Amino acid sequence: MPSTDTAPAPRRPGTDLRALVQEAVDGPGTDLVGLLAAVCDAESVSGGEAALADAIEAALAAEPHLEVVRDGDCVVARTALGRARRVVVAGHIDTVPLSDPPNLPTRLVGEGDDAALWGRGTVDMKGGVAVMLALAAELGRPGSEPASDVTWVFYDNEEVEAEKNGLGRLARHRPDLLSGDFAILGEPSDAGIEGGCNGTMRVEVRTRGVAAHSARAWTGSNAIHAAAPVLARLAAYEPREVEVDGLVYREGLNAVGISGGVAGNVVPDRCTVTVNYRFAPALSLAGAEAHLREVFDGFEVEVTDAASGARPGLDDPLAREFADAVLALTGGAPKPKYGWTDVARFAELGVPAVNFGPGDPLLAHKDDEHVPVRQLALCRDALRAWLLGTGPAGEA
């Protein structure tokens, strides 16, 4: 942890975001820090997003240029300017659980260009949410009309199993709210462009034994001991690197949980190793499952959760235009998104999408999660310029 220039972040008590959104719109880029601090300090671990969703809904409902729709703990705000095309900008408002000790409330560390906001959600992905909130309030006001109509989507339950995902719920019940020509996910990308995403699959690999008193273990068969070959295969596994449309995706296969046993004096008759496979978007769900069954041949394998990946999609004209505009300001080249994001869900809907947001994705879910303040303004300015049609790529 850094040891210098640490101070509480500029924030206000409660979850009334309206004044902070106004300050972020009318003030300099650093005013995004106060907004982000308030969004982060409104703790919203998956399943507990209601208070933050209420605050976002109230802040955006105060903007006359926006039509606001609430679906569960998902808030959708749309312009209706009659433009020829529509851009969807989406971000999830939930986070993984806090660390121990808790990494909230947020705190501001450093000064000037070296300042960073520390705390749960600053990277994944409330930095992107703060940028979205400020721009949603600004773009559509007189004098700041975007070149495209824009749909802003703030959704719940992204960090848990796919069936609970708020964007997935909208896709099933209100697909009209997600209709568009191009989508941008505000996921952390270090203020660059990350194309596509890996797929993800969780399986349970089970072993069976025979229960017995641990004082007479020879009368039973230990299911936990029988899981040793499963762990050995995982330890020896060499993840692949797969090139897809010019971007190289790194795969991963890891045990993320193990359970077995009923008491301290009983030889367990069952053991379950939970395994997470992150696979390149060239592989289908059926292909991913077949690979796992091959790796764990001889063991009982059950798929418990899965979501397809998404190819980069940067060959789409709008995606290419947006990437060129952003990278002209931020530098660098497009990179692959190693984690799963909802670009995959937009791909299933036939909407090309990319990841673009503040924060180093390598810090996502870590206890030392923090986002550079300069990246908040950089992402806000790049996205604003493109939506207004004033960016380096020309008219949006």
Tokens of 64: 């006359």
The set of residues, in sequence order, having a beta carbon less than 8 Å from that of 229 and lying 6+ positions away, is none
Length of the chain: 396
Q: Give the phi and the psi of residue 162 in degrees, each rounded to 5.
A: -60, -35
Give the integer Cα–Cα distance in Å for 123 and 129.
10
Q: Give the phi and the psi of residue 145 in degrees, each rounded to 5.
A: -80, 130
**Annotation marks residue 243 as catalytic:** no
Cβ atoms of residues 305 and 201 within 8 Å: yes
Question: Which of 41, 43, 94, 159 is the catalytic position?
Answer: 94
Cβ atoms of residues 6 and 117 within 8 Å: no
CA angle 387, 51, 191 (to 5 degrees): 35
Beta strand pairing call for 335-336 and 194-195: parallel
Question: Which of 43, 57, 138, 158 is the catalytic position?
Answer: 158
Give the integer Cα–Cα distance in Å for 53 and 174.
18
**Annotation marks residue 158 as catalytic:** yes
Taking only Cα atoms into account, the Rg of the chain, rounded to an integer number of angstroms, comes to 23
Give the integer Cα–Cα distance in Å for 20 and 332.
32
Tokens 């798929």 found at: 303
**Number of helical (H) and strand (E) elements in the chain, helices listed first:** 10, 20
Q: Which residues are catalytic?
A: 94, 158
